[in-house]
Amino acid sequence: MKNGVMMQYFEWNLPNDGNLWKQLKADARHLHEIGITAVWIPPAYKADEQQDEGYATYDLYDLGEFDQNNTIRTKYGTKQELKEAINELHKYQISVYLDAVMNHKAEGDYTERFMVKEVDPNDRTKDISDEFEIQAWTGYLFKGRGNKYSDFKWHWQHFSGVGFDDAKKRSGIFRVVGENKNWSSGVDSENGNYDFLLCNDLDLDHPEVVAELNRWGIWVSEELNLDGMRLDAIKHMKDTFIKQFLDAVRAKRGKKFYAVGEYWNGDLLTLNNYLEAVDNSVDLFDVPLHFNLYEASVKGKDYDMQNILNNSLSIVHPELGVTFVDNHDSQEGSSLQSQIQDWFKPSAYALIMLMKDGYPCVFYGDYYGITGKKSPHTEIIDSLLDIRRKYAYGEQINYFDHPATVGLVRMGDKDHSGSGLALLISNGEDGHKVMNVGKNRAGEVWYECTGDIKETVTIDADGNGNFLVDGKNLAVWIKK
């Protein structure tokens, strides 16, 4: 993973044509050639309907193998096609991380009746009804799969809450009542307690649920020969469950089995507290940095670029932060929409690709495009991936000392001949900055390798160069 780059290989609006796994297999060599070292694939199991992206989970053990919910394949293809894609990626030394959705299950096979209390959506610790009987789709038979891989069947007692009363045909947040039943602790404190997100909320305090999810995690990791997982919606899941789940999987797959969690919160203290609670057993997406990039893109020249790295997870925990520009949750039209504006995306990618800290993730939508429309950023991302692979090594010196023009230097190292670079980003007018690349480089001629600036810079006797950047753009300077 050293100097590696992950790609999120999907976006929200992919067509329901069953072709993604075949496309991924065909793309493996190309991904390797451009410098992608790991691929995060979408939820690969049967959802409530074929067109679903995979987050409305139905059967975690059905990877496009059984006739269930009126389909054999998932939105992305069949199990066999998925396994072939993973084998091809491994042939090119590309790791594969599965998106694991263990917070909830969608509509079951039949309804059950049980007791609940309705809670206040804005404060889930507050009941707004007396105890009453509900009818909900919490019974799961998995008729197409039967008992293959697992004979576990889900019932109402395996959930802590549901979002729909089928008897009265109304939505709400209904907390399941019974012995040892309550919202989990160790979740985000938004809305009082953010255990419940949607659908049928898994009770991660129930020993049968924990045992079954552990069993599935080990099974799917071995069945698909996974290298890691992206853990969905962990702010809504009991923190100690996540740690023990990863311990269980790593006991079988090895300590290097990778995990990154989606904890969608821009507050660094909250993320720090979570990492402490799970004993740093999982990486986290750097949501605070994403929000900085988003704000910078919206405010334009009115944003103070000196603040771009402030409170970012990757600066405080460089070994645990996964940096990203956008993803399926932040893209336009999603519930957490905070899409970085196009003019700033090249600069945002330059920052996460070329700075020393963090594990960068490229978004499929930014590289290939959204809803079939070609991305305007493919060429610059290709260029930055190449620069990262060849030049982004060594210590980093920051020059975040101007509200409009900021920069950093990577000093290079002995293991990568010719490595080292100078990056500048401007959100306003044309800019320049004197930056030191080392006395040992005195007399070297450097050029701007993305092709925007034709002048060259000669490094002076002290190791300084006066590097240029066009307005509202980026510039990457390397030795000629």
**Using CA atoms, how far apart are residues 405 and 430, in angstroms rounded to an integer?**
8
Helices and strands (DSSP H and E) totals, the chain? 10, 27
Q: CA separation (Å) from 104 to 87, 96, 290, 321, 460?
A: 29, 23, 26, 25, 60
Tokens of 77: 């293809």
Q: CA separation (Å) from 136 to 152, 174, 197, 212?
A: 19, 10, 16, 22
Q: Are 54 and 99 a contacting pair, CB within 8 Å?
A: yes
Radius of gyration of the chain (CA): 24
| Helix 268-277 vs helix 239-253: crossing angle, to nearest 10 | 50
- CA dihedral defined by 289, 295, 300, 304, rounded to 10 degrees? -70
DSSP-derived letter for residue 180 is T
Q: Which residues contact 300 (CB under 8 A, 6 or more apart)?
A: 343, 427, 472
Q: Which residues are catalytic?
A: 232, 262
Tokens of 478: 């390397």
Long-range contacts from 451-457, C-beta under 8 angstroms, 24+ separation: 456/480
Q: Residue 415's Cα: distance from chain center in Å?
A: 30
H or E segment and range at residue 136: strand 132-139
In degrees, rounded to 5, the angle at the alpha carbon of residue 79 between the alpha carbons of residues 48 and 204 is: 50
**Using CA atoms, how far apart are residues 310 and 268, in angstroms rounded to an integer?**
10
Please spell the DSSP secondary structure of 181-246, one letter per residue. -S--SSS--TTS-----SSEEE-TT-HHHHHHHHHHHHHHHHHTT-SEEEETTGGGS-HHHHHHHH
Q: Which residues contact 193 (CB under 8 A, 6 or more apart)?
A: 124, 125, 183, 187
The residues that bridge with 57 in the sheet, in sequence order, are 47
Q: Are 286 and 319 a contacting pair, CB within 8 Å?
A: no
Place of tokens 């293959």: 148
The candidate with the shortest Cα–Cα distance to 182, out of 266, 279, 116, is: 116
